[in-house]
Amino acid sequence: MLDPGLKARAIKCGGLIADKEEIRDPRRGELRQTPLISSADVHKLNRLVSKIPALIGQGVPLVINEPAYTYTKLAEKRVDRLAKATKDARNRGQSIASQMDNSIDTITNADTGTL
Protein backbone atom coordinates (compact mmCIF):
# COMPACT_ATOMS: atom_id res chain seq x y z
CA MET A 1 0.00 0.00 0.00
CA LEU A 2 2.74 2.46 0.85
CA ASP A 3 5.06 1.56 -2.03
CA PRO A 4 6.08 4.92 -3.52
CA GLY A 5 8.48 3.30 -5.99
CA LEU A 6 11.56 3.74 -3.81
CA LYS A 7 14.29 1.13 -4.07
CA ALA A 8 14.65 -1.19 -1.09
CA ARG A 9 18.11 0.18 -0.27
CA ALA A 10 16.54 3.63 0.26
CA ILE A 11 14.76 2.42 3.40
CA LYS A 12 16.71 1.45 6.50
CA CYS A 13 15.02 0.44 9.73
CA GLY A 14 16.51 0.68 13.17
CA GLY A 15 16.25 -2.17 15.64
CA LEU A 16 13.02 -3.01 17.39
CA ILE A 17 12.56 -1.46 20.81
CA ALA A 18 10.19 -3.25 23.17
CA ASP A 19 8.60 -1.48 26.12
CA LYS A 20 6.41 -3.10 28.76
CA GLU A 21 3.51 -1.26 30.33
CA GLU A 22 4.26 -2.15 33.95
CA ILE A 23 1.67 0.18 35.42
CA ARG A 24 -1.40 -0.80 33.37
CA ASP A 25 -0.82 -4.41 32.34
CA PRO A 26 2.58 -6.14 32.45
CA ARG A 27 1.48 -8.58 29.73
CA ARG A 28 1.07 -5.82 27.18
CA GLY A 29 3.79 -3.81 25.64
CA GLU A 30 4.77 -1.72 22.70
CA LEU A 31 7.16 -2.28 19.83
CA ARG A 32 8.79 0.68 18.17
CA GLN A 33 10.98 0.96 15.12
CA THR A 34 12.40 4.05 13.46
CA PRO A 35 12.72 3.97 9.68
CA LEU A 36 15.19 6.17 7.82
CA ILE A 37 14.28 6.83 4.21
CA SER A 38 17.00 8.28 2.01
CA SER A 39 16.39 9.18 -1.62
CA ALA A 40 17.28 11.90 -4.09
CA ASP A 41 13.78 11.60 -5.59
CA VAL A 42 11.85 14.11 -3.49
CA HIS A 43 8.67 13.50 -5.50
CA LYS A 44 8.62 9.83 -4.49
CA LEU A 45 9.16 10.80 -0.87
CA ASN A 46 6.24 13.23 -1.09
CA ARG A 47 4.03 10.46 -2.51
CA LEU A 48 5.01 8.26 0.43
CA VAL A 49 4.21 10.99 2.95
CA SER A 50 0.81 11.57 1.33
CA LYS A 51 -0.13 7.95 2.10
CA ILE A 52 0.58 8.18 5.85
CA PRO A 53 -2.92 9.40 6.80
CA ALA A 54 -4.35 6.13 5.43
CA LEU A 55 -2.23 4.19 7.94
CA ILE A 56 -3.39 6.41 10.78
CA GLY A 57 -6.97 5.87 9.59
CA GLN A 58 -6.41 2.11 9.89
CA GLY A 59 -5.39 2.54 13.52
CA VAL A 60 -1.62 2.25 13.07
CA PRO A 61 -0.08 4.40 15.81
CA LEU A 62 2.54 6.66 14.28
CA VAL A 63 4.78 9.44 15.51
CA ILE A 64 5.78 11.65 12.61
CA ASN A 65 8.93 13.74 12.72
CA GLU A 66 9.76 16.63 10.42
CA PRO A 67 11.81 15.55 7.41
CA ALA A 68 15.47 16.54 7.20
CA TYR A 69 16.98 17.33 3.84
CA THR A 70 20.64 17.21 2.84
CA TYR A 71 21.77 18.94 -0.34
CA THR A 72 24.69 16.96 -1.78
CA LYS A 73 25.64 19.15 -4.72
CA LEU A 74 26.62 22.24 -2.76
CA ALA A 75 30.25 22.19 -3.97
CA GLU A 76 29.11 22.34 -7.61
CA LYS A 77 26.76 25.23 -6.88
CA ARG A 78 29.49 27.06 -4.97
CA VAL A 79 31.87 26.95 -7.95
CA ASP A 80 29.10 28.22 -10.23
CA ARG A 81 28.20 31.04 -7.81
CA LEU A 82 31.85 32.05 -7.43
CA ALA A 83 32.25 32.24 -11.22
CA LYS A 84 29.17 34.45 -11.50
CA ALA A 85 30.28 36.64 -8.59
CA THR A 86 33.75 37.06 -10.11
CA LYS A 87 32.25 38.10 -13.44
CA ASP A 88 29.94 40.56 -11.68
CA ALA A 89 32.85 42.00 -9.65
CA ARG A 90 34.90 42.47 -12.82
CA ASN A 91 31.99 44.26 -14.54
CA ARG A 92 31.50 46.55 -11.54
CA GLY A 93 35.23 47.24 -11.36
CA GLN A 94 35.34 48.12 -15.06
CA SER A 95 32.35 50.41 -14.63
CA ILE A 96 33.97 52.24 -11.70
CA ALA A 97 37.33 52.47 -13.47
CA SER A 98 35.77 53.82 -16.67
CA GLN A 99 34.14 56.65 -14.69
CA MET A 100 37.65 57.74 -13.73
CA ASP A 101 39.08 57.25 -17.25
CA ASN A 102 41.00 54.18 -16.09
CA SER A 103 40.82 50.47 -16.78
CA ILE A 104 41.38 47.31 -14.81
CA ASP A 105 43.90 44.58 -15.58
CA THR A 106 43.96 40.88 -14.79
CA ILE A 107 43.11 39.57 -11.34
CA THR A 108 46.28 39.01 -9.34
CA ASN A 109 44.74 37.77 -6.09
CA ALA A 110 41.40 36.24 -5.12
CA ASP A 111 40.09 34.99 -1.78
CA THR A 112 37.01 32.77 -1.75
CA GLY A 113 36.67 32.75 2.01
CA THR A 114 36.56 29.72 4.26
CA LEU A 115 35.66 26.32 2.85
Q: pLDDT of 70-114, one tens digit each?
A: 888 888 888 888 889 889 988 998 899 898 888 888 777 777 666
- Residues 79, 45 share a domain: no
Residue 66 in any domain: the answer is no
Structural domain including 115 reads 71-115
Residue 33 in any domain: the answer is yes
Residue 64 in any domain: the answer is no
Domain count, the chain: 2
Closest by Cα among 91, 77, 80, 96 to 107: 91
Residue 30 in any domain: the answer is yes
- Residues 53, 17 share a domain: yes
- Residues 110, 77 share a domain: yes
E strand residue ranges, 1-115: 11-13, 17-21, 25-32, 35-37
Task: Look up the pTM and report it.
Answer: 0.42
Selected residue with higher pLDDT from 20 and 90: 90
Distance CA 97, CA 95 (A): 6
